[in-house]
């Protein structure tokens, strides 16, 4: 179950914008943001008191359903659910919004923004245009040192195996690459903070003996130009519970206030920057992972390729082979039965660790296939078209 809890100022029609707090694994829309049994230190309240004319909300969702593999609510689905919930409450539809996310909540924010940019969730399309800033508190962006993180998670979710979590490391890197390549185009400002104290594994005497840095500095740093991952004298839990007079709260308060003092970019300019070409209303436009719009492919490294061109080679020289009609290819892939799409994966020998599982949405699997095909190790679009034709002829 997901819920959007109004904290302060949310009913004011003339408010300048909204701030949404998003907790992480084993979190709670209230308990995450205050020390135990100290409701007077619930700092989303402070933000609403200290910054004039803003609405403050806290997003809550069922952590037990936030699985990574074969569960009822994987990250991609949770992002869709959250986008619809925000749109239902008119968050990010007309007014600017800033997200403050702890731990895995930061991954949820990035996935929401990616889906909003793709246009795959109509209810969330306006969110990317109205998101001004994101604050990440100990979010495992890269998974570069997931061993400690996984060890800690086993205390929280014993049913989640290390192998299940480790298979997600390539997807964490891919999600972070998308954010890093698109955050400037979307005009989204970012602040990053990381823990520097080990977190006890539990409250009892045994748990106090076992402690670890849950998200280390390298994983907490998304690698954005001009953005410093600020180390804090906190563990994974206390970093989401700052002191009102402390540096962390003061910096976040100043950051949030600064975002609402800036004018929103026009919808047309925001869409153009998001898509790397002027917006268009052509019914023939197609979006692949947000990277193909109006006949343009934006590859993972930011290169722009028009339909009918081949991607440049490793030296940056134009490709020689002509790509298939991408729009037609995507439409055909979207119409495949799940078993046919799985057959295509096997024929192309797509690395299983970078592909969504069979429980993922069909569109997610198509997006991943296209993105992989354009990578340095991918088969290429022409090969996909060739094998797809064979499968369809054999039916």
Q: What is the 3-state secondary structure (H, E, C) of 213-246?
A: CCCCHHHHCCCCCCCCEEEECCCCCHHHCCCCCC
Q: Which of 233, 260, 287 is the last residue of a domain?
A: 260
Task: For CA atoms 95, 100, 104, 107, give the dihedral sign.
Answer: positive
**Helix (H) / strand (E) containing 352:** none
Angle of CA points 73, 332, 167, to nearest 5°: 35
Asked whether residue 44 is assigned to any structural domain, the reply reads: yes
**CATH number, residue 176:** 3.40.50.1820
Residue 93 counted as domain residue:
yes
Judge whether 272 lies within some domain: no
What's the pLDDT band for 109 if we cut at 50, 70, 90?
Answer: very high
Same domain, 24 and 173: yes
CB atoms within 10 A of CB 269: 14
Instruction: Tell whether 255 and 314 lie within a shared domain.
Output: no
Strands 211-212 and 229-232: unpaired
Is residue 47 located within the same domain as residue 195? Answer: yes
pLDDT at res. 97:
97
- Residue among 156, 94, 149 nearest 127 (CA): 94
Q: What percent of the chain has pLDDT over 70?
A: 70
In DSSP terms, 297 is beta-bridged to 292, 305
Grouping H, G, I as helix, E, B as strand and the rest as coil, residue 376 is coil
**Judgement on whether residues 227 and 167 belong to the same structural domain of the protein:** yes
- Using alpha carbons, list the distances in angstroms from residue 362 to 134, 150, 326, 341: 29, 28, 17, 9
pLDDT tens column, 138-156: 998 875 344 455 555 555 5
Three-state secondary structure call for residue 187: coil
User: Are residues 14 and 139 part of one domain?
Assistant: yes
246 shares its domain with 327: no
Residue 268 within any structural domain of the chain: no
Question: Quick check: is 49 in a domain?
Answer: yes
Domain count for the chain: 2
pLDDT (mean) for 36-55? 94
Is 267 a member of any domain? no
Question: Could you tell me if 46 and 79 lie in one domain?
Answer: yes
For residue 153, the Cα-to-chain-centroid distance in whole angstroms is 20
Name the domain boundary from 225, 260, 295: 260
Out of 72-86, 158-172, 230-244, 293-307, give the one with best mean pLDDT: 230-244
Residue 348, in any domain of the structure: yes
Confidence of residue 374 (pLDDT cuts 50, 70, 90): confident
Say if residue 249 is in the same domain as residue 290.
no
254 and 292 in one domain? no
Pair (183, 283) in one structural domain: no
pTM: 0.66
Q: Is residue 271 part of a domain?
A: no
Same domain, 302 and 224: no
DSSP state at residue 21: E
What domain range is 336 assigned to? 278-394
Is 18 in the same domain as 95? Answer: yes
């Amino acid at each position: 179950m997901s819920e959007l809890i109004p904290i302060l100022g949310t009913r004011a029609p003339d408010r300048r914008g909204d701030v949404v707090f998003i907790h992480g694994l084993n979190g709670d829309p209230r308990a995450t943001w205050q020390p135990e049994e100290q409701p007077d230190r619930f700092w989303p309240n402070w933000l609403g008191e200290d910054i004039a004319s803003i609405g403050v909300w806290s997003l809550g969702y069922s952590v037990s359903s936030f699985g990574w593999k074969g569960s009822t609510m994987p990250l991609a689905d949770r992002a869709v659910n959250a986008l619809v919930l925000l749109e239902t409450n008119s968050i990010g539809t007309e007014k600017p919004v800033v997200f403050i996310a702890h731990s895995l909540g930061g991954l949820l924010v990035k996935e929401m923004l990616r889906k909003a940019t793709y246009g795959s969730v109509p209810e969330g399309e306006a969110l990317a245009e109205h998101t001004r800033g994101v604050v990440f508190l100990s979010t495992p962006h890269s998974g570069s040192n997931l061993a400690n993180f996984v060890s800690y998670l086993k205390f929280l979710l014993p049913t989640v195996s290390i192998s299940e979590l480790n298979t997600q490391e390539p997807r964490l890197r891919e999600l972070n690459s998308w954010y890093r390549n698109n955050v400037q185009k979307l005009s989204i400002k970012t602040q990053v903070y990381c823990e520097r104290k080990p977190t006890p594994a539990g409250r009892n005497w045994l748990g106090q003996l076992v402690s670890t840095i849950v998200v280390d500095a390298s994983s907490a740093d998304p690698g954005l130009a001009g953005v410093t991952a600020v180390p804090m004298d906190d563990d994974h839990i206390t970093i989401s519970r700052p002191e009102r007079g402390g540096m962390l709260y003061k910096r976040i308060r100043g950051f949030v206030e600064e975002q609402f003092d800036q004018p929103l970019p026009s919808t047309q300019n925001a869409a153009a920057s998001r898509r790397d070409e002027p917006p268009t209303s052509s019914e023939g436009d197609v979006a692949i992972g947000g990277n193909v719009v109006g006949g343009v492919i934006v590859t993972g490294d930011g290169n722009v390729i028009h339909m009918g061109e081949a991607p440049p080679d490793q030296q940056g020289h134009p490709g020689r082979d002509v790509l298939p009609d991408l729009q037609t290819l995507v439409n055909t892939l979207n119409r495949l039965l799940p078993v046919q799409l799985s057959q295509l994966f096997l024929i192309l020998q797509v690395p299983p660790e970078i592909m969504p599982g069979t429980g993922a949405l069909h569109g997610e699997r198509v997006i991943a296939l296209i993105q992989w095909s354009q990578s340095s190790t991918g088969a290429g679009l022409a090969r996909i078209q060739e094998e797809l034709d064979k499968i369809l002829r054999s039916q």
